Amino acid sequence: MSLEKIIAISGKPGLFELMSQTRGGFLVTSLIDGKRQSISMRNNVSVLNEIAVYTYDKEVPLKEVFIAIRDKENGATSISHKASKKELESYFLEVLPEYDEERVYASDIKKIIQWYNLLQKSDLVKDLSVEVAEAKASSDEEE
């Protein structure tokens, strides 16, 4: 499954798989408990595929950050998102050493690690390398 179908909804815990679009919003399935629900267009929705992390020289797509975490953990879950701020920041420095510490907050790191663990438990991080390779190949063709 692609990250293009995985969304975060402001004010709702966890991640959701986008099932379909309805007249007034979206039909989603929670990755936490598998329950389906309808989400209004008024909700603030972020597609994981469109999120990036600031570094000092560029923005790194979230997919690549998830791949770095997966490689560091050999496909297993990472540390808990409930770890201390210092632990989260030192862990994230190991994963993405060039991240911009002034623009990437501890709350962002916490969210990224929580999302990674959710995706890993749902067995959705194993195919991310293929997605990144395909995206790079298509961008190379455009240039």
The CATH number that applies at residue 99 is 1.10.10.1650
Determine the Cα–Cα distance for residues 139 and 73; give it in Å rounded to an integer: 29
Which pLDDT score, from 0 to 100, does residue 2 have? 76
Determine the Cα–Cα distance for residues 43 and 54; give it in Å rounded to an integer: 25
Give the sign of the dihedral formed by CA 126, CA 103, CA 4, CA 31.
positive
User: Which one of 33, 48, 63 terminates a domain?
Assistant: 48
Which pLDDT score, from 0 to 100, does residue 123 have? 87
Please tell me whether residues 85 and 37 are part of one structural domain. no
Q: Residue 30: which domain range?
A: 3-48
Please tell me whether residues 72 and 138 are part of one structural domain. yes
Reduce the secondary structure of 114-130 to three states and give it as a string. HHHHHHHHCCCCCCHHH
Please tell me whether residues 72 and 37 are part of one structural domain. no
Please tell me whether residues 55 and 31 are part of one structural domain. no
Determine the Cα–Cα distance for residues 118 and 57; give it in Å rounded to an integer: 29
Please tell me whether residues 77 and 22 are part of one structural domain. no
The CATH number that applies at residue 11 is 2.30.30
Please tell me whether residues 60 and 41 are part of one structural domain. no
| pTM of structure | 0.85
Please write the tens of the pLDDT for every residue from 54-95: 999 999 999 999 999 999 998 888 999 999 999 999 999 999
Encoding tokens for residue 13?
């815990």
Which residues, given as ranges, of the chain have pLDDT below 50? none
Q: C-alpha dihedral over 53, 136, 30, 40, to 10 degrees?
A: 80
